[in-house]
Chains A and B, each alone.
Chain A
């Protein structure tokens, strides 16, 4: 049996990768791997929204400038020398690094980005965006403290689930981009047969 490295590398499918970022599995559906696409979609959305439900739908957000402006600067440096100062979205991510993983679930996490861009404040329950309202807006401190105190650890477990769903979608995006990590025997044999067919016949 030929070794997998003897076959040509697969062509990268950037459109499918983008679609799988938007909706988990959509890229695989485009490629004709419909059942696998549906499996990814159902599995990852189940995990993501199960995690959100564990946290009373209040564990996915990116703090806007209204929240981070009064907070101390995030300054990465060595001893007294500043190397990098996080500002804007980077400062928000420094204060809510969980969102770096949650973001990769795709469109399901976009309301948090919209709330960040709209600078929705946490302290005004009446203020929200059209359509999404205050969904994925930064919750007020008192509410967060209540959820953590009374949630029997479920609020924290919830954001872990949403983060894992987002990170797992990175694997799904890679599967759409370059195919499964392990080439199946049939694919290796077909590639080998194609390569042999291309070889010119040796005339003795």
Chain B
């Protein structure tokens, strides 16, 4: 698997960062809380996507 190939997955970080930070900023007014919650959401979304990605990779490779 060539990770550096031109892939739509390289466009995902923009979406991930914007969704996390905008959502968190609509929940809090204090910057420390905005960034803390944005980081939490960002890692959770990235983790979920990675889990789905690994699942699909395993399915397509071994099934």
Chain A residues with a Cβ under 8 A of chain B: 33, 35-36, 39-40, 43-44, 46-47, 50, 54, 152-154, 157, 161, 164-165, 168, 171-172, 174-175, 179-182, 184, 187
Minimum Cβ distance to chain B for residue A49 (Å): 11
| Closest 7 pairs between A and B when the two form their complex, measured CB to CB | A171-B26, A175-B26, A47-B18, A181-B27, A43-B18, A168-B22, A180-B29
Interface residue tally for chain B (C-beta within 8 Å): 18
Q: How far is the CA of A50 from the CA of B11 in the complex (A)?
A: 9
Q: Is B3 an interface residue (CB 8 A)?
A: no
Q: Quick check: A179 and B29 within 8 Å, CB to CB?
A: yes
Residues of B near A172 (CB, < 8 A) are 22, 26
CB-based contact A157/B11 at 8 Å: yes
Which A residues lie within 8 Å of B29 (CB)? 33, 36, 179-180, 184, 187
Closest B residue to A181 using CB positions: B27
Interface of A is mostly: helix
- Whole-angstrom distance between the alpha carbons of A43 and B19 in the complex? 9
Residue of B nearest to A176 (CB): B26
Which residue of chain A has the shortest Cβ distance to B31 in the bound complex? Answer: A35
Q: Which residue of chain B is the closest to A24 with respect to CB atoms?
A: B22
Could you tell me the distance in whole angstroms from the C-beta of B55 to the nearest C-beta in chain A? 19
> How near does chain A come to B22, taking the closest CB pair, in angstroms?
5
* Cβ 8 A contact of B21, one of A33, A43, A161: A43
